[in-house]
Amino acid sequence: MEEIPSNTQTMPAPDGGFNFLTPEAWKALLSRYSHIVLVANSEAVDFERLRFELPETALYVFFNKVYKVLDEPFVGNAVLVARSGVMGANIVHRREVTDVLRFFTGDDFLGIVNVRVATEENFSEESRFEGAKARHLDLTQILGDLYPVGRIPTSGFALALWLADLQLPGKIVLAGFSAKRSEKWKVFDVHDWTFEQIFLRLFARMGTISMMGGVDASPYSSLAKRFPQVPPIEIAMTAAEVLSERLDNANGQIDRLMSVTKSIRAIENFFRRFKPKTRKQRFLEKSKE
């Protein structure tokens, strides 16, 4: 990652041996780009549109398993965000560093940013990233009581909020943030996708960020045009009423499905007891000793 010419730009590392930057240093580094593009690991990402509409001065931010969206080495300004888990950066303990770095072979690759968002997550030392320059970014404090209890923010959501707080001169663009499960890639239930989508779309309507791909134009905007005499709050409440009824109907069908598959789940749970423990499970058990 490009060096920042100042002796006062680094912060003391509370965990020892990690590379932290002050908010001012991050702002100095990122302000040179006209756009900061967060690229979700989603089939909704449209690289052809991104490259056509955005200038070469854009910085593309990728996350963890970039082979979900890249088929060949990326050409352009790029940085890789490596999310941490309890065992350190996920791409480190899963031995995927080499697999993801092969997509960034050019001089425009700034390096890796090892991010943690929850207090139980731990950083990995720079030496674990196969020679790539790495910085560390602790985002555990920026969310505070904002995020729903019992859920963990996605890396993209936390980073979008952090970038907005930096008040960069460039535009923040979210590409492919659909929060939809596809046939190829799943979404994890530990995140509150509904909350994140509401938050990010409000951000977009305020002009703080922009969203490309994965988000259709609001179907309710046409209702406001058709019924100009109806206050927006009434339209929103009517839409919520209909959605609530549909959700109740869906929950009824889910309950029936759970009942029908009860025996199947019992068999599955029985055989799960014989499944070997994962490295993460062994690590957690050992850490409790």
- Give Cβ neighbours of residue 174 (< 8 Å, ≥ 6 apart): 38, 40, 156, 160, 200, 204, 209, 210, 211, 212
SS3 48: helix
How many angstroms separate the Cα of 219 from the Cα of each of 177, 239, 281? 18, 11, 45
- Asked if the model's pLDDT at residue 182 lies above 60, the reply is no
Q: Nearest 5°: phi and psi at 217? A: -60, 145
- Asked if the model's pLDDT at residue 34 lies above 90, the reply is yes
Q: What percent of the chain has pLDDT over 70?
A: 83
The pLDDT, as a whole number, for residue 2 is 53
When pLDDT is cut at 50, 70 and 90, the band that residue 283 belongs to is low
Q: What is the pLDDT of residues 243-274, one digit of tens each?
A: 888 888 888 888 888 888 888 888 888 877 77
SS3 142: coil
- Asked if the model's pLDDT at residue 3 lies above 60, the reply is no
Of the CA atoms within 13 Å of residue 95, those in its CB half-sphere come to: 2
CA 284 – CA 87 distance, rounded (Å): 9
Q: What percent of the chain has pLDDT over 90?
A: 41
CA 70 – CA 64 distance, rounded (Å): 12
Buried b (16+ CB within 10 A) or exposed e, 223-241: eeeeeeeeeeeebeeeeee
Q: Average pLDDT, whole number, for the chain?
A: 84
When pLDDT is cut at 50, 70 and 90, the band that residue 184 belongs to is low
Where is average pLDDT lowest: 108-122, 147-161, 166-180, 202-216? 202-216
How many angstroms separate the Cα of 128 from the Cα of each of 80, 91, 140, 157? 15, 10, 22, 25
Mean pLDDT of 169-198: 79
- Asked if the model's pLDDT at residue 289 lies above 70, the reply is no
**Angle formed at CA 82 by CA 80 and CA 85, multiple of 5 degrees:** 175
**Angle formed at CA 171 by CA 165 and CA 174, multiple of 5 degrees:** 85
- Give Cβ neighbours of residue 153 (< 8 Å, ≥ 6 apart): 117, 118, 143, 147, 191, 196
